[in-house]
Structure 1
Amino acid sequence: MARPRPQRRRSGGGGAPQGRANRHSGPLGQSLARLSEDELYRLVEEIPDILLLILDGVQDPHNLGACLRTADGAGVTAIITPRHQSAPVTETVVRIACGGAENVPVVQVANLARCMERLREDFGIRIVGTSDRATADLYESDLTGPLAFAMGSEEKGIRRLTEENCNELVRIPMLGGVECLNVSNATAVCLFESVRQRTLGE
């Protein structure tokens, strides 16, 4: 049985407790999880063995929605995206996410490289990026402990600065004729390999 995700998103009246996601009922008619960058850092301090997802420039709403759904299933605390050149949380995203947008906050940051640097240096988060150029195999990497996966855009993958702020680059081994998976499928493979490793022996 997968370990339960820490309860850190629900908030009562009078505002969200420190380090917890706000819920915002907006024009989408949904109760969407919201989290500021500062609140994200507080959560990182509070939750041991936290699992985060960084999406670098994912602009397709269907892929973002699928990533949200997968992230919710894998117990991800938050998704981090750059404020610009990323898909916003639209009605399409919410529909594809099937509840994930209500449970997993998308944290939009002004400077993704700086955010990643803080996560690594100030909070000890190990960041694992995916790249076709990587020589290390996903299944040979230790994916336990405080961790963030960095996944790139559909066309270009992760950017240079994003790659430079990763502790490790891994590849998903491909055995057939296709060279790579799309970002939502690759995200599912990576997150649930981490879940598998984290729940061994439970």
Structure 2
Amino acid sequence: MPGNSPRPNRRKAGTKKGAVVGSGGQRRKGLEGKGPTPKAVDRFKHVAARKAAAARKANPPKNGDRPRTAAGRRAQGTREGAELLVGRNPVVEALRAEIPASALFIAQGVDVDERINEAVQTAGDRGLSILEVSRTELDRMTGGVLHQGIGLKVPPYSYADLPDVLSSASGTPLLVALDGVTDPRNLGAVVRSAAAFGASGVILPERRAAGMTATAWRTSAGAAARVPVARVTNLTRTLRSLQDQGFTVLGLDADGDVDSDSLDVGTDPVVIVVGSEGRGLSRLVGEACDQLVSIPMTSDTESLNASVAAAVLLADVARQRRQAAHD
């Protein structure tokens, strides 16, 4: 019966230890979680891990252990692991630019078009592993992001050095700098606009800003393979250094002193600075700008998305350069 256990709840007299009935809290440790289940490719002897190891063995990195981008820039150190680029245009553009990659994933039963065919052909020519997976598995690998039935496993994005961006610029340099933009979709959209209007590159601060993740890659629709992105330690210091090199720094601000229609930058080297989605330009970055530029809008519209505002000003600068070239 309960309460009549013959087991004594005591020790012999003279011992230092007290009662020993119960686990002493040891069982509680056994019930605690041991963290998330590792991914299949990280599990020892798992079939996915063996395939990944075989792919790495068949395609060892060239030029040392650190991969290079299509332009030959070395990757900077990062804590991020490999990324999975998704979407047909981003994957095809990355393969065309010969971005380092280890495997191409194709969903079973995917609707095949010319982009899927080109991706498979290019990956095969490069000797990459081409793996057919279920759509459910690809959904899990991408975290539910719209992938269009295709994914490319690549190393972390390889950021450029700003001096290399300037030296490789064709014609008069046009740069876009982002001040505290934390949404990777906005970053990807800015990179896409930069490619559309002939910008030489994009500048990001290392801290408190979005990086070139798979989401940014996909939003750029592959433009990230054509437009170099540089990371700098101090954006304000970088802008002042560019001013010393002859750049005009234009900061986008809803309360700017000059509107984009009145700009007169001609063929000068230009840096367009875009502030964060909420607070706009930080104080120090705003003070470093030569001009604060607003975009004319109807009174019913308070503001534009950061990437849209960047596209509008990029289009205005590109238009002025075309006019100056014709004059």
Question: Fold-level match, TM-score > 0.5?
Answer: yes
Is the 8 Å Cα contact of residues 21 and 34 (structure 1) preserved in structure 2?
A: no
Higher relative contact order (CA 8 A, sep 6+): 1
TM-score, normalising length: structure 1: 0.82
Q: TM-score, normalised by structure 2?
A: 0.52
Whole-angstrom distance in 2 between the partners of 1:117 and 1:41: 15
- Structure 2 residue 160 is matched with structure 1 residue 35: yes
Report whether the alignment pairs 1:53 with 2:109: no
- What CA deviation, in whole Å up to 9, does each residue of 1:120-173 have, x standing for no partner? 01x110001111221211110113310010110000101111111111111101
CA deviation after TM superposition for structure 1 residue 21, in Å: 6.1
Give the superposition deviation at 1:23.
Answer: 7.3
Tell me, yes or no, if the aligned pair for 2:166 and 2:200 is still in contact at 8 Å: no
Aligned partner letter, 1:105: P
Aligned counterpart, 1:128: 250
Contact 1:53–1:148 under 8 Å retained in 2 = yes
Which of 43, 62, 69 is the aligned partner of 2:185? 62
Q: 2:305 aligns with which of 163, 173, 182?
A: 182
Q: How many equivalent residue pairs?
A: 183
Q: What residue number does 1:114 align with? A: 237
* CA–CA separation in structure 2 for the residues paired with 1:197 and 1:58: 27
Q: Hey, what does 2:259 align to over in structure 1?
A: 137
The one-character-per-residue Cα deviations of 1:69-117 (angstroms, maximum 9, x if unpaired) are 1011111111111100111111111111011111112211111111011
The runs of 4+ residues in structure 1 deviating greater than 6 Å are 13-16
Distance of 1:91 and 1:190 partners within structure 2: 26
RMSD, aligned CA: 2.3
> CA offsets, 1:9-61, max 9 Å, x none?
xxxx9798xxx66276x634542663113434544xx6542100011010011
Which secondary structure state, in structure 2, belongs to the residue aligned with residue 34 of structure 1? Answer: coil
Contact 1:55 1:153 in 2 (8 A): yes
Name the CA shift for 1:49/1:33 in 2 (closer, same or farther; >3 Å). Answer: farther
- Alpha-carbon spacing, 1:28–1:36, altered in 2? closer, same or farther (3 Å): farther
Gaps of 5+ in 2: 1-61, 76-81, 86-93, 100-156
**Which residue of structure 1 lines up, in the alignment, with residue 221 of structure 2?**
98
2:73 to 11, 18, 22: 22
The runs of 5 or more residues in structure 1 that have no matched partner are 1-12
Q: For residues 40 and 103 of structure 1, what CA distance do their matches in structure 2 show?
A: 12
CA positional deviation for 1:181: 0.3
Conserved? CA contact 2:159–2:231, under 8 Å: no
Using the aligned pairs only, state the percent identity: 34
Question: Offset of 1:175 from its aligned partner?
Answer: 1.0
Would the aligned equivalents of 2:165 and 2:200 in 1 still touch at CA under 8 Å?
Answer: no
Which of the residues 290, 308, 316 maps onto 1:167? 290
Which amino acid letter does the alignment assign opposite residue 158 of structure 1?
A: L
